[in-house]
Structure 1
């Protein structure tokens, strides 16, 4: 699959204030990561990334539409089968800050649960943090949603960092003006507030699954 993935294009456009038409429709796109499928929903429009063993008629029969139907739990469970289903997340976008990074590579954090989760659904996962060995603050940077750079962040509660501070530091790992995404559970209000304070803006939702269809 060459070129820019449709989801990357839609999210990049959204980062610049350009959104799909509010038409209530869903559109089918190819999965961007082997073995992972998902739904990205924006206001009144949804993109469903699913392998070609699922017919459009099956997706329609499960109630897909751009007004919430594409993220209905029955649809997601119907497409995932017996496979793993991730939580529904808010998709946030920002621009990289570039410059001199304030974080350093931390290969010792590769076994952190957040890093392991990132490795399961993204490619090229790299782990970063602060230089102090006893600081377990973690930033993952990977090729994620739709092929865009994706950040994951967890702050070591024993240290004095704020979530917004770590998130802004993470943005220095991404080239200036490069669109970067992050996903956050809606109920994780602390993380969501930190992302907003660091300059991220919410544009969509995403739910991922690893299908196992009988």
Structure 2
């Protein structure tokens, strides 16, 4: 397994995962902005600049299933207190390989003032946005420099397959593996990305520096 978070992510995008041995690997944060936990089947990766011994000692002290310990609320609460960071939600993490050719969906690249774009710029670098009627597609460099995608469809044009079409169009635009983070309760979004050829590889919680 690679020694950096980006090595681990690149391997996962190719279908290569850490061993399902119930263990946790601790690697350095890729940047000051991003710390957190990435859970695969039977193996977790904690990316932090904190002392790895603190991570292992804290996990060992939990009275819970070792396979799920890094996503246990008690560990996450301790992680947040230790780092002074904040977190939003645990997301399912999906990845889709790039597709050749241009997207079939008509899109126009724009610098539109959209809440989805503004949100992305607080969490990603090199953010770009495309629009079509009633929808926006956003891509940018997120955790460990991976290329991440998000989409938003207005209520009036939903239930027409537009979310799936946007997620698929992003794969044509990417030129490299494309990552999506979806809240587990957002079944509509999860179905759209899966229908567009993305597969779930794990779960993730990101810890953000306050302010």
Matched, 1:69 2:73: no
Count residues with an aligned counterpart.
199
Q: CA deviation at 1:208?
A: 0.4
d(CA) in 2 for partners of 1:87, 1:209: 10
Aligned equivalent of 2:130: 128
Does 2:54 align with 1:58?
A: yes
What TM-score comes out, normalization by structure 2 length? 0.84
Structure 2 residues not aligned, in runs of 5+: none
Look up the SS of the partner of 1:87 in the other structure: strand
C-alpha displacement at 1:161, in angstroms? 4.9
Aligned residue in 1 for 2:109: 105
Native 8 Å contact 1:29 1:48 kept in 2: yes
**Alignment CA distance shift 1:16-1:36 (3 Å):** closer
Encode CA deviations 1:135-179: one digit per residue, 9 max, x unaligned.
34111111113221110111122225522111111222111xx21
Partner of 1:165: 165
Query: Partners in 1 of 2:118 and 2:57 — Cα distance?
Result: 35
Distance in 1 (CA, whole Å) between partners of 2:169 and 2:8 is 26
Residues 32-73 of structure 1: CA deviation (Å, up to 9, x unaligned): 23322111110111111112xx22222123216961111112
SS in structure 1 of the partner of residue 67 of structure 2:
coil
Checking the alignment, whether the CA contact within 8 Å between 2:42 and 2:67 is kept in structure 1 is yes
Structure 1-normalised TM-score? 0.83
C-alpha RMSD over aligned residues: 2.2
Contact 2:167 2:192 (C-alpha < 8 Å) held by counterparts: yes
Q: Distance in 1 between matches of 2:6 and 2:195?
A: 23
For the residues of structure 2 that align with 1:60 and 1:146, how far apart are their CA atoms?
23
Deviations 1:13-34 (A, max 9, x none): 2333321111111111122233
| Higher helix fraction (1 or 2) | 2
Q: Which runs of 5+ in 1 are unaligned?
A: none
CA–CA distance in 2 between the matches of 1:38 and 1:97? 30
Q: 2:40 aligns with which of 34, 39, 42?
A: 42
Q: 1:66 to 1:22 in 2, by over 3 A?
A: farther
- 1:77 positional shift: 2.0
> Helix, strand or coil for the counterpart of 1:97?
coil
Task: Name the counterpart of 1:88.
Answer: 90
Richer in strand (by share): 2
